[in-house]
Amino acid sequence: AMTLTLLCACGNNDTPSGEQTNTGDNTQAGELSVTPKILGTDEIKIAYIPISTAGVTNRMVELAFNDTIDAYKDTVTVDYFDPGYDAQTQITMVNDAVNQGYDVILLECSDPVSLATPVAEAEAAGVPVITLNLNAETPHTLHLRAVDYMSGWKAAETLANDFGADSGQKVIIMD
């Protein structure tokens, strides 16, 4: 099973004491570079861009997303894109997702080198990119592989803690 953490949906900027943290203007390595959204309150748009939507695997991913976000279907949207195994189409889709205001991009790179620039540009624009299976050849928010079940779960827990889930905020973890 693959574990995905949708980090754009992980709480707000308030600590339990009310002081502000992670305001989105952090620039140091390891610091958050996006302002988290409040799950169930803020609208959250997720772009899922696999290599292709052909085949049963992506249908299973779509069903899992739908089950996971069912309780938040009024505020969380996952849009599924089909690049048809074409890296150039994926590049266009990543750029479009940034320009259309998506909050996070889940990307299965068909060409890790070709997608490095649009992934870096998305991150620079404040849109976190989570790559699945094949990694982009550039630093980005998170990379998960289907065989990394335990590391994916650990990454999900770490991100949940970083975003304040232990203070009562909600985090979507899909297993």
**pLDDT band at residue 174, thresholds of 50, 70 and 90?**
low
**pLDDT band at residue 20, thresholds of 50, 70 and 90?**
very low
**pLDDT band at residue 4, thresholds of 50, 70 and 90?**
very low
Mean pLDDT score, 134-140: 89
Is the overall model pTM greater than 0.95, yes or no?
Answer: no
**pLDDT band at residue 66, thresholds of 50, 70 and 90?**
confident
Mean pLDDT score, 46-66: 86
Distance CA 127, CA 49 (A): 14
What is residue 38's predicted lDDT score, i.e. its pLDDT? Answer: 82
CB count in 10 Å sphere of residue 43: 11
> What are the tokens at 82?
């089909």
What is residue 141's predicted lDDT score, i.e. its pLDDT? Answer: 87
Q: Is the pLDDT of residue 114 over 80?
A: yes
Distance CA 50, CA 84 (A): 9
CB count in 10 Å sphere of residue 128: 21
What is residue 5's predicted lDDT score, i.e. its pLDDT? Answer: 46
Q: Is the pLDDT of residue 121 over 90?
A: yes
